[in-house]
Amino acid sequence: MYAMDVTRQPRLLILCECKLWKSKVPQNVVRGFRTVMQDSGAHVGYIISSSGFQKGAFESAANTNLHLVTWEEFQQAFYERWFDAMQSRLEDVSLEVRELGDYFNRRTTSVLHAIPERVNELQNLHRRFSAYDTAGINAFMRERIQFPVTCIDPRHGAKDGTKITFPDARSYFDTLLAAVQPAIAAYEGFVAKYQAEDAKVGRKPD
């Protein structure tokens, strides 16, 4: 298995080999993988073992660009970079949600006309999708959320105000990313509905 890190210049080629074994990985496996790395021109290598490594394996990997790790250690090695990339992605795709939810956004406020029912409906939308405001603040402050974290459930069909607890970053990002387009559609639907009502009675935008 390999990966190419395109965020580095020159690009970084990373090779990985997974060993779901009941016994510790021996020295000869490490030596063989080092040969593969040299032949492929890999910059970094990882052997990931479920049962650890023999002493000779560590000696063979010492002072090289080959790392002997458990699955947990492998994930931790890339967690911060993965988190930052996912946070940046969420920031980019959810920007429209936050803009539509902004009380100073011309599109959403133009149909309010200080009508209480409409104001309340917009406030409910803002509360329902408040997780994107929090995500935007965290991205701006370059802060990593500490899990578990609880917020208002932004998913389509969730009862307004229902809270959801995310145990980890994966579930958090997957859920919020999947709910972006429905959130935008909800705001668009709000605006379209009241624009149509205003048109019927000849009411001009605020």
d(CA 134, CA 124): 16
Please state, rounded to an integer, the average pLDDT across all residues of the chain.
92
Q: Match 């709910």 to its residue by tokens.
A: 179
What pLDDT is recorded for position 205?
87
- Inform me whether the pLDDT recorded for 8 exceeds 80: no
Domain ranges in the chain are: 2-69, 78-201
* H or E element at residue 151: strand 149-152
* H or E element at residue 143: none
What pLDDT is recorded for position 10?
79
What pLDDT is recorded for position 188?
96
- Inform me whether the pLDDT recorded for 138 exceeds 90: no
| Residue-level length of the chain | 206
d(CA 130, CA 136): 10
Question: Cα angle at 1 between 78 and 86, to 5 degrees?
Answer: 30
The predicted-structure confidence for 59-91, as pLDDT tens digits, reads as follows 999 999 999 999 999 988 888 888 988 999 999
For residue 127, the 8-state DSSP code is H
